[in-house]
Structure 1
C-alpha cells in the first residue's frame, strides 16, 4: 500500500469509530433493550423532557447518566444532552439515558418500573 492509501484507510476507520452508536442492543428477560458498552441495561426517566435531564444529585448517584464526550456528535436516533454541570449525556430519540446502580450484571433489568417513572430503553 502506498502512503495515500494508508492515510485514507486510517481516516475511514477513525470516522467510522467516531460515528458508532453510543449504545448497543442486548437481551434481557424483558426482550431487547439498549445497553451501555459493558452490556448494562439503559433506562429512561418519565420526568425528563425532550433533550433535558431532570436527574441530578442523589438521583444521578442511583441513576448514573450515560456520559458522552464533550465533542460527541449526534447521529441517527442518538443525540447529546448538556447537563446542568456542563457534562454531556447521551439520549435516544430525545430521551436521556441512564444506568441503574442496583443492576449487577449485563441483562439485569431491576430498574424497570421503579417508582413508576423509570423504564428500560427499548430499541
Structure 2
C-alpha cells in the first residue's frame, strides 16, 4: 500500500466516524440540561426498568414511546442498545432505557418529569 492510499483510507474512516451522530443530544429545559432526541424532545427514564431491560410495554409504551435504535445501531460511550421484549432495539443511557412522553408538545418540555414518582427526565 502506498502512503497516499493510506492517507485517503484514513480520511474516509474519519469522515465516516464524524457522520455518525450521538444517539441523543443535550438540550436545555426548566430542569437544566436534559437528554433529547434529534428533534429536541426530552428523553426519560423509568424507575421500574432493570438495568439494560425495558419493562414499559403495551399501554405504557403507547404513552412513553421507547427511543428506538435504528438497524445496525451500536453502543457508543454511555449509550447502549437493548433488546425490548418484542425484539425491537431501544437506546439506553448508562444502562437505563430511554423514552419519550406523548404529552410533551415542543422541544424543552419536561411534563413527564416526576410522573407518578417513577418517570424522570434523563440528565447528561
| TM-score normalised by length of structure 1 | 0.91
Name the residue aligned to 1:94: 95
Aligned residues: 121
Does 1:57 pair with 2:58? Answer: yes
Question: What's the counterpart of residue 48 of structure 1?
Answer: 49
Residue 68 of structure 1 aligns to a residue whose secondary structure is coil
Q: CA deviation at 1:69?
A: 1.7
- The answer for the alignment partner of 1:17 in structure 2 is 19
Which has the larger displacement, 3-12 or 25-34? 3-12
Q: Distance in 1 between matches of 2:100 and 2:39?
A: 11
Shift of residue 47 of structure 1? 0.2
Following superposition, the deviation at residue 11 of structure 1 comes to 3.0
Q: Does structure 2 conserve the Cα–Cα contact (< 8 Å) formed by 1:40 and 1:108? A: yes
Offset from partner CA, 1:50-72 (integer Å, 9 cap, x none): 00000011111100111102311
What residue in structure 1 maps to residue 84 of structure 2? 83
- Give the gaps of 5 or more residues in structure 2: none
Aligned-residue Cα RMSD (Å) equals 1.5
Counterpart in the other structure of 2:114: 113
| C-alpha distance in 2 between matches for 1:51 and 1:16 | 27
1:36 — aligned with what?
37
Deviation at 1:40, TM superposition (A): 0.1
